[in-house]
Amino acid sequence: MIKISPSILSCDYAKMGEEFETMKRCGADWLHIDVMDGHFVPNITLGAPIVKCMRKYSDLVFDVHLMISDPKKYIPDFAKAGADVITFHIESDSPVEETIDLIRSLGCVAALAVKPGTPVETVFPYLEKLGMVLVMTVEPGFGGQSFMEDMMPKVAALRSEINRRGLSTDIQVDGGISLSTVETAASAGANVLVAGSAIFGAEDPQAMIAELRSRAAKYF
């Protein structure tokens, strides 16, 4: 199933409540919340107290993308704040399996992310426990970067491994997703599409979400 997850990195943070309502009205499935610590990536965004406030303004799935060095330390806070899906990076300093188990024990969906330089096979040992794998299509840290088409073999290899094992794991792509790249990503096997600038920068976000969805749906 295709899911469209607008990255709120591109929203007006001073008007989050309104922005979330707009996204819901426009047909978004999830809200992609980018958490950056200024250490794992060279940028700082927000923490669990803000996510807790956001929760009052939206019943969409909170898709929390942790770009932080020590996710394990903060995961209980994000779960308590209302995260639904919690994604952390395999390149972080936290022990992978323990961190996945922690996310699941808190009732959230566990997801692992790989940066462009990391082979996707590194997540294979954990696949059975993961609801989703995020294949980054830009270097994490900033919105508005260009889509890296050379990540598509990773998406395809992951989709074929998921199929081979008879799993239904979601594959998310994040970075540079737009009308011109969404079909490339979906045809490789990605079904959860994060888009920040393409959606929040659109004149008609509803039409943009509908069009991203219908272009991706051709491949599923």
Considering only residues 65, 115, 159, 213, which one is a binding residue for Zn ion as defined by CB under 5 A?
65
The binding site for ligand DX5 (CB under 6 A) comprises 7, 9-10, 32, 34, 65, 138, 140-145, 174-177, 194-198
**Between residue 135 and residue 194, which ones bind Zn ion under the rule CB under 5 A?**
174
Closer residue to ligand DX5, CB minimum distance, 148 or 158: 148
Please name which of 181, 182, 159 lies closest in space to residue 169, comparing C-alpha atoms: 159
Window contacting Zn ion (CB under 5 A); options: 26-34, 119-127, 143-151, 205-213:
26-34
Give the Å distances, CA to CA, from 17 to 26, 57, 59, 100, 174.
14, 5, 11, 30, 23
In sequence order, the β-bridge partners of residue 65 are 34, 87
Closer residue to ligand DX5, CB minimum distance, 167 or 207: 207
115 lies in the site for Zn ion, by CB under 5 A = no
Give the largest CA-CA distance in the chain: 45
174 given a catalytic annotation = yes
With CB under 5 to 8 Å by kind, the binding choice for 216 among Zn ion, ligand DX5, none is none
The values of phi and psi at residue 70, to 5°, are -125, 70
Closer residue to ligand DX5, CB minimum distance, 71 or 140: 140
29 given a catalytic annotation = no
Closer residue to Zn ion, CB minimum distance, 111 or 164: 111
**Contact of 61 with 36, CB cutoff 8 Å:** no
What is the arrangement of strands in the sheet containing 132-136, beginning at the earlier edge strand? 3-6, 192-195, 170-174, 132-136, 109-114, 85-89, 61-67, 30-36
Residue 166 CB, shortest distance to Zn ion, in Å, is 28
Active site residues: 34, 174
Q: Residue numbers of the site for Zn ion (CB under 5 A)?
A: 34, 65, 174
